[in-house]
Amino acid sequence: MARSAVRSTDRFERKREAILDAATEILNRQGVKGLTLSVAAAAVDLSTTSVTYYFKRKDDLAAACLMRGVDALQQMLDAALEAPTPAERLHVLLELYLERVRLTTVGEAPPLPVLADIRALNQPRRGEVSKAFGKMFRRTREIFEAESLSWLSRGRRTARTHMLLEQLFWAGAWLPKYDPEDYPRIRERMYDILIGGMAAETSSWGPTPIPMTELAPRDRQEMSRETFLLAATRLINSRGYRGASVDKISAELNVTKGSFYHHNDAKDDLVVACFDRTFDVMRRVQRLAMALPGDEWTRLSSAAAALAEFQLSEHGPLLRSSALTALPEPIRLEMVQHSNRVSDRFASMISDGIAEGSLRPVDPFIAAQMLNATLNAGAELGFWVPGVSQKAAPAVFARPLLMGIFEK
């Protein structure tokens, strides 16, 4: 190849990567909904026409950002799976992922995209990225392939893989609380929680049931609003913010658009209302659990079990945190604060449990964020493990974090 052609190719690749870097930052702040060719072009001092030379459509650009993130995770997994044991593979994956986040934070590596917005893509790009994500997911599941874990069914391996990936994805929401130089210490604390769980050696799995009737609407007016918000939550979880249009929500409930706007002034208001419902359910479960007799381990495990079960009940699911990226930044920050308050209450329960000896001495803040991420991810358990029952959800999904990801 002629030297001039090589230089031209290098320039093309450098500019393409610069566009992807800028577009990924926009994607992470505003979701697919907020990423446009013109906004991406302005971020790199190009005209929109110039950007179309690299990416003809908005979805092409968004898909390229997401695919680059999936590829980065795939490379980390390839390295992690060279380790001989499941525990060592897990440690390498955490080390590589948090190091990449650290490098991004200090400006030495491009950002990783938030992968939660894949559903907001149009076809055929959604199918292409989903296929790549599925391949990466199956690669992650290989962490659990070992003779010592032969007792794990395929469904339980899949559930634990989903939980593990959610820990990586949600970490981006709470890691900014720390200085990047502390990330190695945080990695070890996350690893300790995943390996050892939160229960003390003397504590066993046996959560006290919290009846789902305690979480159901109490009067006719509340039932009407609950029906509306539940339909919207299910659509947003399954199709993303952009896919859950007002028309589709109205059709799901067999009501007119006028009825929709009677309940909510705008679509963003609806997402906020769905989040408010989610946080209200979680706080109610926490209050009910905290009133139970017994120790803090009983209360914490009972709250986790109830929320895992709620996700697959007729009243579930709760709104996935992935919807956050679609909200305007001020509203998104407010919703994150609400989520943090739920986590902080879990942290208080964990601290009390450590003090009394029913829980292991883990980092309460990190453990609470990891628990919150797990319970939120339970909304998609039925997708990843088809046929899993409501009653089985606590043992299949909540127990692995609380008792140890490689424990029976």
Q: How far apart are CA 240 and CA 209, in angstroms?
A: 32
Beta bridge partners of 199: 359
Q: Give the pLDDT confidence of 299-310 residue by residue, as tens digits.
A: 999 999 999 999
Q: Which among 238, 256, 385 has a CA at the least distance from the CA of 317?
A: 238
pTM: 0.90
Tokens of 150: 């032969």
Would you say residue 4 has pLDDT above 60? no
Instruction: Please count the CA atoms within 13 angstroms of the CA of 150 that sit on its side-chain side.
Output: 2
Indicate the range of 30-44, 140-154, 193-207, 238-252 predicted with least confidence.
238-252
Within 10 Å of residue 50's Cβ, how many Cβ atoms?
A: 14
CB contact set of 127 (below 8 Å; sequence gap of 6+): none
**CA separation for the pair 158, 66 (Å, rounded):** 22
Do the beta carbons of residue 371 and residue 301 sit within 8 Å? no
Query: Dihedrals φ, ψ of 199, to 5°?
Result: -75, 140
For range 383-393, the mean pLDDT: 93
CATH fold of 212-403: Tetracycline Repressor; domain 2 (1.10.357)
For residue range 269-287, list pLDDT tens digits in order: 778 888 899 999 999 999 9
pLDDT higher than threshold 70 for residue 245: no
* Fold matches, 3-150 and 212-403: yes
Residue 168 CA from chain centroid, whole number: 8
What's the pLDDT score for residue 32?
83
- Whole-angstrom Cα distance, residue 351 to residue 359? 8
> Does 6 have pLDDT greater than 70?
no
CA pair distance 165, 187, nearest whole angstrom: 14
Residue 389: the pLDDT is 93
Of 4-18, 36-50, 222-236, highest mean pLDDT? 36-50
**Is 335 or 68 the better-scoring residue by pLDDT?**
68
> Which residue has better confidence, 306 or 330?
306
Name the CATH topology of 3-150.
Tetracycline Repressor; domain 2 (1.10.357)
Length of the chain: 408
Kindly tell me if the per-residue pLDDT of 339 is higher than 80: yes
* Main-chain dihedrals φ then ψ at residue 204, nearest 5 degrees: -120, 165
CA nearest to 283, candidates 237, 193, 349, 227 = 349
Q: What is the pLDDT of residue 327?
A: 73
User: What are the extents of the domains in the chain?
Assistant: 3-150, 212-403
Q: How many CB atoms lie within 10 A of CB 24?
A: 25
